[in-house]
Amino acid sequence: MLLRRVTEHVKNQNWIAVGIDFAIVVIGVFIGLQVANWSETRAQYQRELTYLERLDAEFEIVENRLNQTIATSELARNSLRSLSQAHDQGAGAFSNGDAKSAVELLVGSVSAVVPARSPAVFNELVSNGELSILRSAELRTALYEFDNLSDVAFKAWEGSENAVLPFRRLAFDILSLDLDKLEAEIRAGKLALSGDLIPNSFFDNSDMQSELTLVFVYNLNNGVFAEQQLQLVERIKELLAKELDR
């Protein structure tokens, strides 16, 4: 209809009307493009908001995992300190038949939590090439820093697990524990073990002290990595809160 009207105006050489029609077309196209751009921008902001909310929820889980890792690392180090002291003191360290304390130290000394990795939503953003949807460059950088630190922490944990294996084998070979019985007693909330849980051979073994020290160092290293990750998570959560409040 508009084209027919423009044609008639051209035939009649009504250039003012032609100009008005042209202006209407241009303005219509401009408004259409603006509406399309607005819709696309709004959709992009909505996708960003969804990703930000998912990141916030997943980093809450990561934070809890790291706190658990730090607590477990501290428990293991304290247990290793006590076992090392018992090794120095000799067989009399558990001569009072305190089997429960001995078991808690042994279980605690080999306790570990797999390090927290980057949230699944971060990996999704990277694999889909959509990380740029997050407008905060500071947040994007912090997410990359956490991902890199998580990889380093995981490799360090794998190394510590390899270091712990000889200690586990040495300790449990010396102690000759019946692990099935031990598990059943722990699940039942009781420990009916004899006071002779840790024999003299544990304290007389020349390799035990060096193994305790090695495992302690690796465990401390894992704890330090977890603390660094936690600091970065706290920063990321602050950045997320800032973006969500925008």
Nearest-angstrom CA–CA distance, 176 and 27? 87
Let me know: does 167 contact 110? Beta carbons within 8 Å.
Answer: yes
| Other CB atoms within 10 A of residue 177 CB | 15
Closest CA to 107 of 129, 142, 133, 78: 78
pLDDT score at 193: 47
Q: Which residue has the higher pLDDT, 28 or 194?
A: 28
Mean pLDDT of 62-68: 93
State the average pLDDT for the chain.
Answer: 75
Rounded CA gap, 154 and 185, in Å? 33
pLDDT at 117 exceeding the cut of 80:
yes
Q: Rounded to whole angstroms, how far apart are CA atoms 145 and 166?
A: 33
Separation CA 227–CA 156 (nearest Å): 14
pLDDT of 163 reads: 72
Structural contact between residues 69 and 115, judged by C-beta atoms closer than 8 angstroms? yes
pLDDT of residue 203: 59
Give the pTM. Answer: 0.69
Confidence of residue 194 (pLDDT cuts 50, 70, 90): very low
Find out whether 225 and 152 touch, Cβ atoms under 8 Å. yes
Nearest-angstrom CA–CA distance, 19 and 27: 12
3-state secondary structure of 198: coil
Q: How many CA atoms lie within 13 Å of 204's alpha carbon, on the beta-carbon side?
A: 5
Amino acid at 117: R
Q: Does the pLDDT value for residue 142 go beyond 70?
A: yes
pLDDT at 67: 94
Backbone phi, then psi, for 4, in 5-degree steps?
-65, -40
Rg (C-alpha) for the chain, rounded Å, is 33
Question: What phi and psi, each to the nearest 5 degrees, are found at residue 98?
Answer: -80, 70
